[in-house]
Amino acid sequence: MAAINLKSMDVEELLALRGEIDEALAERADDLRKQLARLGQSVGGRPAKGAGRGASALKGVKVPPRYVGPNGETWAGRGARPKWLAALLDEGHSIEEFAVGEAAEEERRVAAAAVPVAKKRGRAVAKKPGRKNG
């Protein structure tokens, strides 16, 4: 963009330039508002009309069960943990015992990759192999 020498412009030219700038800014603001509306937000971070609080793209979508209990109860791993699973976990069972399909493989992979963690001065510190954390 070419440099504009504002000092050499008369008042009418400056006012015309100001009008062009105002139009450009208004157009840019309108574009941003449209983008925010597409994302479900309004200016200021509040949900746009119709977006609803807590609306999720996955709401109402059926997913296969990830966990199956001893009596055939199922849980897809979404939402609050069911009472039957919480009771079994309190008894000392592991959640991996109830995982089915891909969830079982994922649970085993996550459990195997878990790094032991030690508490030190109120914050978690990962243990390094061959070193003592104390």
Q: pLDDT tens-digit profile of 104-126?
A: 777 777 777 775 655 556 555 55
Q: pLDDT tens-digit profile of 67-84?
A: 998 899 999 888 899 999
Domain count, the chain: 2
Residue 76 in any domain: the answer is: yes
Q: Are residues 122 and 85 in the same domain?
A: yes
Position 8, amino acid:
S
Q: Are residues 71 and 117 in the same domain?
A: yes
Residue 107 in any domain: the answer is: yes
Q: Are residues 82 and 34 in the same domain?
A: no
If you search the block for the tokens 């001065």, which residue do you land on? Answer: 121
Residue 102 in any domain: the answer is: yes
Half-sphere exposure of residue 127: CA atoms within 13 angstroms, side-chain side: 12
Residue 4 in any domain: the answer is: no
Q: pLDDT tens-digit profile of 24-66?
A: 999 999 998 888 888 875 556 555 555 555 666 767 778 888 8
pLDDT at residue 5 tops 80: yes
Residue 57 in any domain: the answer is: no
Residue 88: count other Cβ atoms within 10 Å of its Cβ: 19
pLDDT at residue 19 tops 60: yes
Q: Give the domain range for residue 18.
A: 11-38
